[in-house]
Structure 1
Amino acid sequence: MAISGAPRRIYTWIAARTPWSAWARHHTVFTVAAIPPALPALLGFTCTALAPGRSPVPLLLLLVLVLSPLLTTLQRSRFRALLGLDVPEIVRERRWWSPRGLAERLRSEATWRQYGYHLLVSPLAAAAGALVVLAWVCGAVGASVYAWCWMLPADTRTPGWTGDYDLITGAGVLLLLAAPWWAVLVARLDAFAAAALLGPNRSRELERRVEDLAESRAGVLDAADLERRRIERDLHDGAQQRLVALAMNLGIARATLPDLPPEAKAVIDEAHREAKEAIEELNNLVRGLHPAVLEDRGLDAALSGIAARAPFPVELTVDIGTRPGATVEAVAYFVVSETLANVAKHARADRCSVRVVRGPTPGGAGCRGDLLRVTVTDDGVGGADPSGGTGLVGLRKRVGSVDGTIMIDSPLGGPTVITVELPCGL
């Protein structure tokens, strides 16, 4: 009868972990392979033990310093080939044998972590590997005692010797069963130590990765901003000028051709009106991409234009001193523009105030650094919900693109206060 279900899984698990399984051989070979790379450190300890009057530190450090690159390469190869563990290599700017490369390694904490592995972990792993070999040998000898005991002299057999051999056989079998698990324990501890000591510092690598991502993101934002400016210039100098020329020609035709039939005049009037509307839409599109006044005269002038075009009174206060980066300026401009557009559409407000200041913002025990703080307040009906539409969600995404924060306080009945903080370091 075939075994199925949970019993079959248990049987398969046990069969895969017997002393004669590939699992046992695999981990045993890995632990035994730890012995050759540990020989330099073991040799240093032996020389120190034979010369107790001398300090072991100079000899050991000199030995490991010279052989550390080779030992690290051997250990990485052992973990990759026998355990499938890829220990990342530490990237160095200079070769280790050059004077500057040697000085760089002596100052690097990664080098001293590698020294710690080669001086402490590697000898312990080698000793554990030797114990694994000893366990296999003693287990095999003890479990097979009845197969070779006939070679012993007959006078060594005392009364009750079979009982003693039964105990030896049982102990040998237990050693054979325990040896693979001991090898697994040693392999896992060795792998944990190697990942922590031989590879790069994870926290430093994460910090470096975050810095690289921040730099690449800043580059992407700058490239997008430059592309928006290019499109704005192309539209302003190309399509917009053509539309202006078209509107002028249509106006001239309407003024200088009074004898045209009424139907033709109506067509010219309609074309002239649509051309002017197209120019106005294109102007709005250009301002939405990147207003030229923002680049030429700064945030104060650009926000003044937005406030003047709003359908309600806007009290504008801008106190930023030195201009922040172009990307931060653009985000602040679009935040104010989109916020005022949302107020005009949904808030039913009578007036609005916009305040833009630059400086450190208190936060707990210290401050959050150089920030551009944008506060928009309206006296509308309130109840703004970021999950209720795409306007506030778009604001969050735009502010988050430069690691900024946005806070929305909008109780029912108003007022609504939207506070945005943008780091000026970009």
Structure 2
Amino acid sequence: MATRGALRRTYTWIASHTPWSAWAWRNTTFSAAAIPPALPLVLGCVLAVAGPGHSPVPLLLVALFCPLLTALQRSRFRSLLDLDIPPVVREHRWTTVRGLTERLRSESTWRQYGYHLVVSPLAATGAALLVLLWAGSAAAASVYAWAWMLPVEEMLAVPGLHYQYDGITVLGGLLLIAAPWAAATLTRLDAVAAAALLGPNRARELQRRVEDLAESRAGVLDAADLERRRIERDLHDGAQQRLVSLAMNLGIARATLPGLPPEAKAVIDEAHREAKEAIEELNNLVRGLHPAVLEDRGLDAALSGIAARAPLPVELAVDIAERPGPTIEAVAYFVVSEALANVAKHARADRCSVRIGRVAGARGDLLRVVVTDDGVGGADPAGGTGLVGLRKRVGSVDGTIMINSPVGGPTIVTVELPCGL
């Protein structure tokens, strides 16, 4: 069955690449269609060189009608080859002075001139040779079909003419087999040149798309940061205040109602304890979202609170002459908070240090965060220790993170964040 399938695929491939296949005639038709657009260019060059006075007017007319020729070539590629070459987007119409100036200064205009003045004549020449190849090979392969029209006297005067006809027929058959591949080669070369010269500059388009994506991503990050701040304010001003009020009322009830049964006192004590635990958990949640002190007083004050609440001594040094953007501050706060949490949970360290400062980088100023502990080391991002989330948060702002944690310690986490965001 496998052999039969391979034979079927081989037969299908051969049938689709024969001289009478649709593939061969599509490429031939496409190549032949390159001749009419090139005629004005060839005629203009001939008149400019061999005409009276060697006037450059014909070439100027060709340059004036370059947009029309470009539209014709795009139509040829789209209708005959299903290849869509996008047009170059212009800010102004060509009928205005600014539009003409924009086109003359644009490198895409000169690339189009290069296609029309160089590639188009070459493609037309190749197409003419291709048509001659088809005609000559067809005539040679069918020599026995039309040789009878030659005068009998001339045929008898040439010795061995029969054997010559055999060679001509074989040569014509070989050229017929080669003609579709010649047409395919011309089509491929023309398509590559047109995509590079008639359309927009791919490198600049890619650069523009990267800039647009970077701008949109910055907008998404800012929106997410604003949403975290809104949630923090709502929790702080709403749910947290109600829990504080509830805890106060329960405390007052416990102190002012001494005659309650022991069961009721136990319920009030339990509710008061759970309310205080809920307030503490909500405080931690609010600080994890976006602490208000970070927005009001910056990284130094916000990280001082984290260092004070850490279960081990933390040496904090923040040297920032100018505050970075709010998004970068939020990421740096998250990095230090998560790193200290990892140290407390996994490192078994006696002390830790956090150093933050601005340094110059190839892409501008960077905010460098270095967290060092004297723990057991061996931190592995694949081990589920929170380093994966740390790497994702840093990568969301095009930052870099390096983790040096040999077994036995110490562990050094270095994060660099672009201050431009």
Q: What is the deviation of 1:149?
A: 3.0
Match of 1:294 in 2: 294
Q: What is the deviation of 1:230?
A: 0.5
* Aligned ranges 1:157-168 → 2 under 5 Å: 157=155, 158-160=157-159, 161-168=161-168
Match of 2:200 in 1: 200
Match of 1:232 in 2: 232
Check whether the contact 1:64–1:118 (CA below 8 A) recurs between aligned residues. no
Q: Distance in 1 between matches of 2:20 and 2:186?
A: 19
Match of 2:322 in 1: 322
Q: What is the deviation of 1:213?
A: 1.1
Greater Cα offset, 141-150 or 347-356 = 141-150
Q: Percent identity?
A: 77
Q: Does 1:91 align with 2:86?
A: no
304 and 189 in structure 1: CA distance in 2 versus 1, 3 angstrom threshold: same
Check whether the contact 1:40–1:63 (CA below 8 A) recurs between aligned residues. no
Match of 1:311 in 2: 311
Q: What is the deviation of 1:287?
A: 0.4
Check whether the contact 1:374–1:419 (CA below 8 A) recurs between aligned residues. yes
Q: Distance in 1 between matches of 2:6 and 2:275?
A: 78
133 and 244 in structure 1: CA distance in 2 versus 1, 3 angstrom threshold: same
State the secondary structure of the residue aligned to 2:381.
coil
State the secondary structure of the residue aligned to 1:216.
helix
State the secondary structure of the residue aligned to 2:65.
helix
State the secondary structure of the residue aligned to 1:286.
helix
State the secondary structure of the residue aligned to 1:222.
helix
Match of 2:267 in 1: 267
Q: Does 1:130 align with 2:128?
A: yes
Alpha carbon RMSD of aligned pairs, Å?
1.9
Check whether the contact 2:364–2:420 (CA below 8 A) recurs between aligned residues. no
State the secondary structure of the residue aligned to 1:78.
helix
52 and 406 in structure 1: CA distance in 2 versus 1, 3 angstrom threshold: farther
Check whether the contact 1:408–1:419 (CA below 8 A) recurs between aligned residues. yes
Match of 1:394 in 2: 389
Equivalenced residues, count:
417
Check whether the contact 1:232–1:289 (CA below 8 A) recurs between aligned residues. yes
1:153 to 151, 154, 160: 151
Q: What is the deviation of 1:347?
A: 1.0
Q: TM-score, normalization: structure 2?
A: 0.94
Check whether the contact 1:247–1:276 (CA below 8 A) recurs between aligned residues. yes
Greater Cα offset, 192-201 or 339-348 = 192-201
Greater Cα offset, 185-194 or 96-105 = 96-105
State the secondary structure of the residue aligned to 1:376.
strand
Name the aligned partner's letter for residue 326 of structure 1: P
State the secondary structure of the residue aligned to 1:4.
helix
Check whether the contact 2:44–2:62 (CA below 8 A) recurs between aligned residues. no
Q: Distance in 2 between matches of 1:68 and 1:96?
A: 12
State the secondary structure of the residue aligned to 2:307.
helix
Q: Distance in 2 between matches of 1:52 and 1:149?
A: 47
Check whether the contact 1:17–1:23 (CA below 8 A) recurs between aligned residues. yes
Q: What is the deviation of 1:240?
A: 0.9
1:376 to 371, 378, 383: 371
Q: Distance in 1 between matches of 2:14 and 2:414?
A: 63
Q: Distance in 1 between matches of 2:129 and 2:324?
A: 66
Q: Distance in 2 between matches of 1:233 and 1:136?
A: 79
State the secondary structure of the residue aligned to 2:375.
coil
Q: Distance in 2 between matches of 1:355 and 1:18?
A: 73
State the secondary structure of the residue aligned to 1:355.
strand
Greater Cα offset, 245-254 or 89-98 = 89-98
Unaligned runs of 5+ in 2: none
* Aligned ranges 1:33-112 → 2 under 5 Å: 33-51=33-51, 54=54, 59-60=58-59, 62-112=60-110
Q: What is the deviation of 1:229?
A: 0.4
Q: Distance in 2 between matches of 1:64 and 1:51?
A: 15
Check whether the contact 1:384–1:410 (CA below 8 A) recurs between aligned residues. yes
191 and 390 in structure 1: CA distance in 2 versus 1, 3 angstrom threshold: farther
Greater Cα offset, 8-17 or 76-85 = 8-17
390 and 39 in structure 1: CA distance in 2 versus 1, 3 angstrom threshold: farther
59 and 322 in structure 1: CA distance in 2 versus 1, 3 angstrom threshold: farther
Name the aligned partner's letter for residue 221 of structure 1: L
Name the aligned partner's letter for residue 255 of structure 2: A
User: For 1:97-152, what per-residue CA distance to the aligned partner results, in whole angstroms no more than 9, with x for missing partners?
Assistant: 32212211211111111111111111111111111111122222222333333333
Q: Distance in 1 between matches of 2:62 and 2:289?
A: 61
Q: What is the deviation of 1:408?
A: 0.9
State the secondary structure of the residue aligned to 1:359.
strand
Check whether the contact 2:315–2:354 (CA below 8 A) recurs between aligned residues. yes
Check whether the contact 1:128–1:186 (CA below 8 A) recurs between aligned residues. yes
State the secondary structure of the residue aligned to 2:366.
strand
2:406 to 399, 408, 411: 411
Q: What is the deviation of 1:252?
A: 1.9
Q: What is the deviation of 1:414?
A: 1.3
Q: Distance in 2 between matches of 1:110 and 1:219?
A: 31
Name the aligned partner's letter for residue 414 of structure 1: G
User: For 1:23-68, what per-residue CA distance to the aligned partner results, in whole angstroms no more than 9, with x for missing partners?
Assistant: 2111111111111222221221221242386376x743x2343222
Check whether the contact 2:294–2:302 (CA below 8 A) recurs between aligned residues. yes
User: For 1:63-102, what per-residue CA distance to the aligned partner results, in whole angstroms no more than 9, with x for missing partners?
Assistant: 3432222222222222122222222222222223322122
Unaligned runs of 5+ in 1: 362-366
Greater Cα offset, 143-152 or 181-190 = 143-152
Q: Distance in 2 between matches of 1:297 and 1:74?
A: 63
Name the aligned partner's letter for residue 144 of structure 1: S
Check whether the contact 1:64–1:115 (CA below 8 A) recurs between aligned residues. no
